[in-house]
Structure 1
Amino acid sequence: MMTILVTGATGTQGSATARGLLAAGHRVRALVRDPAGPAARALAAAGAEPVRGDMGDRASLDAATRGVDGVFSVQPTLGYPGVPPGFTLDDELRYGRNVADAAAAAGVRSFVYASVGAADAPHGITRWQTKHTLERYARDLGLPLTALRPVRFMENQVHPQMGVRDGVLADVFLPHVPVQLIAAADIGAFATLAFTRPSEYAGRTIELAGDELTMPQIARAMERALGRPITYRHIPREELLGRDADAVAGYDFANHGGGWHADIAVLRKEHPALMDFATWLDREGAAAFTTARA
């Protein structure tokens, strides 16, 4: 049994990792801004130890990492729901470096960083390049790094701000382009494997996906699971012009730059319970869709 500090513990990846670690019998120290908040209380009820801290406050990180065996590091991603007002890429770099520095000072045995799929590809997406910078930073510190690179979250499809709206699933992917997907629970499962078997996972960079479908196939799977008509609308490149440069770079990478290439068959050998999209909808997604719109 190990003690792991989980940053971002009330977020999508952090909470999934905390629950995976608890299920495996590890002790979880959950870094939260408000230990009395509902998400923190839910983690405490599951067996975690919420500790007050802020990734922008190095002193609080030093206190939180004291005596832990490993650290799970995840920072907010600019442009996604839940990002603090005024948050910038410089803030993400500062947060990520603070966590890595605190982990190095604590002498942890495992450091698992939640990066992004294809972080090092020549796509020009600055918010992804930032995560690659943080991968390199952790390596340069000599941390026993496992870099997890998840692709598109399955949860995005049911999120009120990113998923289906009024029966329409809209996104930038051309209808024939395959899109890789990963469930947050499976990100947590791989993080748990990395902490449980550090000698096997330290030093590895792992692209994570559990399924590969076109967007129309995703819409049809959601139709079947939710029992309601859903259509896919492709957002043309012209609609993105004038937005932030990452939107256009993301369109070009998704449709003409090669996209994601996680080896799902190999991943399933490591984690046989790896969910495909239909399984995730059946176990979690359909209920999450209904709850989010209640």
Structure 2
Amino acid sequence: MGFDQGGGGELGQGKALIDSSIKSGVKFFVYTSVDRGGESSSNNPTDIPHFISKHTIEQHLIESTQKAENKMEWAILRPVAFMENFTDDFLGRVFVTSWKLVIKSKPLQLIATSDIGFFGAKAFLNPEQYKGRAISLAGDELTFNQLAVVVKRQTGRELQFTFKFVCLLIMWMIKDLGLMYKWFHDVGYGADIAELKEVHPDLMDFSDWLRRESQFSKSIQS
């Protein structure tokens, strides 16, 4: 999440990596950021600190490459929430409980990290096609009730929760996290899943990911 946004944290490291890449003559740079509302992402840093840092790094990438004598092309990938947040442990229960508690009936977009890797590889293999582009990435969009149905159908299990006060305490202690969940409810991600599937027909929805890559895959019902 990049809680340390100072010179030695995500923000400082991101800018330094871009600057070093330009100086070293790197020809093509792919930065994995975060979606902030689909097409509005470029002009929408949000009020979430670790989203803001990624927006700032994006702007640094674009501005630095425009000024540099050594031309470095770039592409930006903007994934949504990771399917890998759904785990069979305490953190997974915090994720599920927070979703129900804060996002309520609003849909949340999700992406498998392996599909982020697919688009990263696609960009590196086709730099002329991807240069100068920023692409939001998602494989599914689910409400909480839809999540529960998919999990029950695929695993035979009900969703597992923790106490609500635990999630509220965590979000109070980690303001970044609380702001993010509030944004999920109030605004939300905006990737175009149908368009992405035209490029990547095997893009996983949440059901696919549960069967293929999740911690629950061994217990999936036939």
Query: Above 0.5 in TM-score?
Result: yes
State the TM-score bracket (shorter-chain normalisation).
0.7 to 0.9
Structure 2 equivalent of residue 100 of structure 1: 18
TM-score normalised per structure 2 = 0.80
Structure having the larger proportion of residues in strand: 1
Q: Cα distance, 1:100 vs. partner?
A: 0.9
Structure 1 unmatched runs, 5+: 1-76, 80-87
Q: Secondary structure at the match of 1:101?
A: helix
1:255 paired with 2:171, answer no
- Alignment-derived partner of residue 175 in structure 2: 245
Relative to structure 1, the CA distance from residue 289 to residue 222 in structure 2 (aligned partners, 3 Å threshold; closer, same or farther) is farther
RMSD of aligned Cα (Å): 2.6
Q: Alignment partner for residue 278 of structure 1, among 192, 207, 219?
A: 207
Which of the residues 154, 157, 171 maps onto 2:98?
A: 171
Q: Which has the higher contact order (CA 8 A, sep 6+)?
A: 2
Residue 227 of structure 1, CA deviation? 2.5
Q: Could you tell me whether the CA contact under 8 Å between 1:158 and 1:289 is conserved in 2?
A: no
Partner of 1:182: 111
1:213-270 CA-partner distances (Å, limit 9, x unpaired): 012221332223222222568959x9367433323322331112x2101000001111
Q: Deviations over 1:22-41 (max 9, x none)?
A: xxxxxxxxxxxxxxxxxxxx
Shift in Å at residue 122 of structure 1? 5.3
State yes or no: 1:141 paired with 2:64: yes
Identity %: 36
CA displacement, residues 96-131 of structure 1 (integer Å, 9 cap, x when unaligned): 122112211222221110101115525300111000
Amino acid corresponding to residue 196 of structure 1 in structure 2? L
Amino acid in the other structure paired with 2:54: K
Count of aligned pairs:
202
In structure 1, the residue corresponding to 2:129 is in which secondary structure?
Answer: helix
Change in Cα spacing, 1:289 to 1:106, as seen in structure 2 (3 Å) is farther
Alpha carbons of 1:233 and 1:261: their partners in 2 closer, same or farther (altered >3 Å)? Answer: farther
Mapped pair 1:112 → 2:30: yes
- Work out whether residues 216 and 231 of structure 1, in 8 Å CA contact, stay in contact via their aligned partners in 2: no
Work out the CA distance in 1 between the residues paired with 2:30 and 2:116. Answer: 11
* Matched residue type, 1:259: G
